[in-house]
Amino acid sequence: MVAMEQRLSQILSQRQKQPIAEAGLIVSAVLVPIYRKRGRYYILFTKRTERVREHKGQVSFPGGARHKVDKTLFDTALRESAEEIGLAPTEVKILGELDDMRTETSNYIITPFVALIPYPYQFKVDGWEVEEIIEAPISALLDKDLRPQTRVIDVDGQSVTSYFYHYQGSVIWGATANILHQFLGIFAQAMRG
């Protein structure tokens, strides 16, 4: 494990995760997959198809709702990533967890797992849930010229800041953007050493 990955893992393990426990919400998990490509770190997103029931056409992380077969939420993230993009669970190295996030437009609580994945890798997009894979250099998302737009929204009577990232014609918003924002802050902290 290179020093950057060690620092990321250490920061994630030392922070106090903020869980959400609200009755009536759908428990789910996503993988926040990162990898090294030509000396730079990348993050992988998926673009959902228009066929899915919820979150049509949105940029997201691989993942979904917990099933009875899943022993843990990490198992959920692994199973969903295997189904959606063909990522073998044995190829995933977990670095840590981020805070739970609630979706803005549906009743989901998402537990995000930051994970190192291999590159190059022969992904297999399922075509039903996922239309395409989007690769973004983390340095581009951290670029000061690409700062996210923000707006304050009301979620159950509480004011919550929501982020919007624009990357090569794609808009990353909602829970995915909020997860990304938290991850980028931790990644920047790890870069500083």
CATH code of the domain covering residue 97? 3.90.79.10
What percent of the chain clears pLDDT 90, i.e. is strictly above it?
A: 74
SS3 49: coil
Q: State the residue range of the domain holding 47.
A: 3-142+175-191
* pLDDT tops 60 at residue 106: yes
Whether 149 maps to a domain, the answer reads: no
Place 55 in a pLDDT band, splitting at 50, 70 and 90. low
- Separation between Cα atoms, residue 66 and residue 88, nearest integer Å: 18
Location of structure tokens 């990898």: 35
Whether 113 maps to a domain, the answer reads: yes
- Separation between Cα atoms, residue 101 and residue 29, nearest integer Å: 10
Least Cα distance to 31 among 45, 10, 52 occurs for 45
Residues 61-86: tens digit of each pLDDT: 999 999 999 999 999 999 999 999 99
Whether 81 maps to a domain, the answer reads: yes
Whether 169 maps to a domain, the answer reads: no
The arithmetic mean of pLDDT across residues 23-40, rounded, is 95
pLDDT of residue 22: 82
Least Cα distance to 124 among 85, 91, 159 occurs for 85
Least trusted range by pLDDT, from 15-29, 43-57, 136-150, 175-189: 43-57
- Separation between Cα atoms, residue 143 and residue 70, nearest integer Å: 37
* pLDDT tops 70 at residue 114: yes
- Separation between Cα atoms, residue 51 and residue 174, nearest integer Å: 19
pLDDT of residue 107: 87
Whether 160 maps to a domain, the answer reads: no
Q: How many domains does the chain have?
A: 1
* pLDDT tops 90 at residue 110: yes
Task: Report in angstroms the alpha-carbon separations of 7 from 4, 83, 95, 137, 156.
Answer: 5, 30, 10, 19, 36
Least Cα distance to 85 among 53, 117, 51 occurs for 117
Whether 84 maps to a domain, the answer reads: yes
Whether 50 maps to a domain, the answer reads: yes
Q: Kindly report the pTM of this predicted structure.
A: 0.93
- Residue pair 163/149 in contact by the 8 Å Cβ criterion: yes
The arithmetic mean of pLDDT across residues 17-28, rounded, is 90
- Separation between Cα atoms, residue 29 and residue 80, nearest integer Å: 9
- Separation between Cα atoms, residue 164 and residue 74, nearest integer Å: 26
Least trusted range by pLDDT, from 120-134, 136-150, 174-188: 136-150
Whether 157 maps to a domain, the answer reads: no
- Residue pair 181/160 in contact by the 8 Å Cβ criterion: no
